[in-house]
Structure formats: C-alpha cells, structure tokens
Copies of this chain bind each other. A is one copy, B any other.
Amino acid sequence: MALSSATINTHVKEVEYAVRGPIVARAGEIDADLKKGAGSYPFKNVIFCNIGNPQALQQKPLSFPREVLALLTAPELLEHPKSAEVFAPDALTRAKVALPKMGGTGAYTHSAGYDWVRQTVASYIQARDNNAAGKELGPADPNAIFLTNGASPGVQMTLQCLINGPSDGIMTPIPQYPLYTATITLMNGSCVPYYLDESKAWGMTTDDLSKAYDEAKSKGITPRALVVINPGNPTGQVLEPAAMADVVKWAHSRNVMLLADEVYQENVYAPGKTFRSFREIMLGLGEPYSKEVQLASFHTTSKGIHGECGRRGGYTEFINVPQDVMDIFIKLPSINLCPNLAGQVMVDLMLSPPKAGDASFESYTKEYNDIYQSLKRRALLLVDGLNKIEGIRSNAVEGAMYAFPSLKLPSKFVDEAKAKGKPADTLWCARLLEEQGVVVVPGSGFGQVAGTYHFRTTILPPEEQMADMVSRIANFQKSIIAKYGPVEA
C-alpha cells in the first residue's frame, strides 16, 4: 500500500494537537447522538469548552462588519433600490469605497493580501503603539505585513523558515498553545521548553529563559526563536511592560527572533492591566534593540471581541527582517495563491471600525462593549466557581479566553491512570466528558511541570450556563473523591 500508517511521514504521525484531539472527537460523537435523540447519556447537552470558538457558544457576530461583508459578497446589492432600507448607511459607504479596490470580489489577490488591507493593519499598529507609548514610535510598514487565513498559517510559515532540522530550537513556553509544538514536530525542529511560574501568576523570567537556552546549547541545539504568548494561552496572564523589556533585551543578547503571539490583544480584563505590544516595548527601548531585534507578531479576527473564527482572517507583521528574507518568505503563501477574501476584508473591518459620527458608531460600540463586559464577568465567574472546588485552583484570568487550573487528584485515581498508560488529567477529562458532558482539554496537551495536572477550559459558555458548567465539574470532582479517596496534598 502506497500510503499506510507504516509509511506515512513520521513527523505527521508524531504530531499532537490536543485542542482537537480524541476527547474532542468523542465529544462530537456524543453531541451528534444527543441531537438526534440516540444513545443514553447522564446529561442533556454537551458544553464545549475545549476551544476558543465564541460564536459556536451563542456569541452574536458584530453587525456592522457582517453588513459590509454581505454587500461585498453580493455587490449588486449596492445598486439595489431597496438597499438603503436594509443596510446601515455607513455600511453601504464602506462597501462602496472598498469595492473598486478589490479588483473583482472573487479574484485571487496578491499572495500577501490586498495592499489596502495591509495599509489598514499598518495604521492600526502605529496608532495602537503610539497611543500606548505616549510618543511617536515611527510608522509600521505595510510591505512587512502578510495577511493570512487566521494567525496559525503565519506562525507555521515563520517556523518553517526558521527550522532547518533538529539542531534548530524554538523556545516555547510551557504551558503553551499546541500550535507551536505541533508545528515544530512537523518541521523536524527541536522544542526548547521554558517554564511559566504558576505560583507567580504564570510569570516568566529571563533567568528561566537563560536556563532553557543554555540547556539546549549543551545538547547541540541552537535556539533560533523565542515564542511569547501574551495575553497567555492557556494561562491567561498579561505581561507587565518591565518584564517585556527584559525579554526584548534577553532576545537581543542571545540573537533569537521574538515570535509574539498577540492574538488576544483585545482580551484584557484585569483591573489596571492593559495590552502592550512587543513592537511598542522594543521600539520604545531605542537602539540597539529597536533596530536589531527581529520580531514577528501574529494577530487574528478569531479572538478579541469579533470572534470571527470561521472567517480565517489574520496577519503576521515582521520587524527588522531583511528584505531578501521577505522575498523568500512570500513564496510560501504564493503556493496557496492568497488568503481568503472574506478573512482579509474582516481584518480591515476589525482594525478600522466605525468612528464617532458614523451612523453605526453607537450600535457598534454598544455591541462591542456588551461582549467585552460579558467576557470580563465570565472570567471572574469561572475562576470564582472553580476555586470553590476541592483540588482545583486557578490563577486569575487576566486576559485571553481560558483558565488553566491545577488539578489535585486522589492517588488511587493517578495510579489507575498510570495502569492505563494515560496521564491522569487525560483520564480525568475523558471521564468528565462521559459523566457530565463538559469538554475541557487535559493539561498534558499544553505541557506542565512533571507531576502536576491541569486542564484548560474556555470562559466562553454564556453567562446563564456558567453556573451549570461549573457545577458539573464540581459534581464530577466530588464523585472522583467519593470513589477514590481524598486528593493528594
């Protein structure tokens, strides 16, 4: 057989991607059963908390961007005599302005995406960072911005360029979002883990970075890049500017590229915390850092307040990457011709929303704030609820869309998992699904300190379902303790 599980590419075989792994596949089966009234389960519905997919959990899309996108999908609507009665006037204007720039609403674009959308991205970045810094940091370069189908392909293409083989290392936080380890495995590179400190609100220190770097070097691995996810996924922390400056200086000292996963930049909830980009911190430090540290920053339309996961919109911005490298890089998206149009347009709409005075400004702002405030409340509700459960302790969700609580388990349960050859948190999550219909992802899918257990859950169930979701987890943990004895200290 030409293609069998024995002959298939070994790296493809090794890849693990827990947020869409076997527990999620099983949840899909159960959900399908329940929806057609088949099977017998001790719960009425499955609550999917495995993935940051807000609109699958009843979050409504923002209206304005959808109206513009609909008009650009069927542009003859712009000429329809009834359109003024159906669409907001500024949605019509916005679509009329965009239409001639698109060169056909069904054509391939430049491989890096529309130049006018990349210009919007550059303007957004510049305004965001000048505003945060309180000073002029200089322009962002639209030619160093590549639109992508969500953030993930940008990460993958960047890693593909950085990795030549196992001697190239990518420094990855543990816990991390599995996109990183999966891609490093696929590209046959080496993951160089550095640990976030759960006891210090999932903080990172340059001491830990140096330790990880040196250990890799001692094994013949050269770290080529440092991944920082801020706000954190799965860990929900928001970095302080002083810590970020330390990271930039450290990256400079070791000549590693900084890969800033900043897809949750709109999702900051903790009082007193704001999002600060690595670009702003780096440029703010001045030379040599501002001219010499190589940075790739990733963003998406899937998260934030839009939650437009299915559009697959996103971008990668490079700084201090020479033109000859970008001339090589562009060949990668070229092979797939171009990012999808709706995703590109959504990036434009997300980063250039209605302004004060526009017809949709008030309704857009209200929709936006309602979602933001609800996410903020849910972040608190969830952590409060989880922290009342015996054996479960979660840091505050300062940002992003997840809690990553630690999980203490009865020693007999841990032994049973060992006997089954499974990490204890994997067994726990699998049973939580079967007994309570709650889908969370085991900590082993993200990495954790050996001997500790965690799970990741999103904060996304609607507020009125949150109590139900927390009580299902509480009931399950209670049943585990009842059956297996008290949790380990």
Measured between beta carbons, the chain B residues less than 8 angstroms from A10 are: 164
Q: Beta-carbon contacts of A52-68 to B below 8 Å, as 1s and 0s? A: 01111011010100110
Q: Considering residues A164, A257, A309, which has the most beta carbons from chain B within 10 angstroms of its beta carbon? A: A309
Residue of B55, B86, B338 touching A77 (CB-CB under 8 A): B86
- 11 A-B pairs with CB atoms under 8 Å apart are A2-B162, A2-B257, A8-B162, A17-B335, A51-B337, A55-B105, A73-B342, A182-B331, A310-B338, A311-B341, A341-B342
Measured between beta carbons, the chain B residues less than 8 angstroms from A66 are: 73-74
Q: Does A444 contact B (CB under 8 A)?
A: no
Within 8 A of B (CB), among A68-83: 69-71, 73-74, 76-77, 80, 82-83
The stretch of A107-115, A196-204, A370-378, A403-411 that contacts the partner chain:
A107-115
Measured between beta carbons, the chain B residues less than 8 angstroms from A164 are: 7, 9-10
A325 near B4 with CB under 8 A, answer yes
Q: Does A288 contact B (CB under 8 A)?
A: no
Q: Considering residues A53, A58, A225, which has the most beta carbons from chain B within 10 angstroms of its beta carbon? A: A53
The stretch of A145-153, A278-286, A416-424 that contacts the partner chain:
A145-153
Q: Considering residues A3, A8, A12, A70, which has the most beta carbons from chain B within 10 angstroms of its beta carbon? A: A3
Within 8 A of B (CB), among A177-236: 179, 182-183, 186, 224-225
Which A residues contact B (CB, under 8 angstroms)?
A: 1-5, 7-10, 12-13, 15-17, 20, 28, 51, 53-56, 58-59, 61, 63, 66-67, 69-71, 73-74, 76-77, 80, 82-83, 85-86, 103-111, 149-150, 152-153, 156, 160-164, 179, 182-183, 186, 224-225, 255-257, 294, 302, 306-312, 321-322, 324-325, 328-329, 331-332, 334-343
Distance, CA A414 to CA B149, complexed state (A): 42
A310 near B105 with CB under 8 A, answer yes
Distance, CA A444 to CA B310, complexed state (A): 38
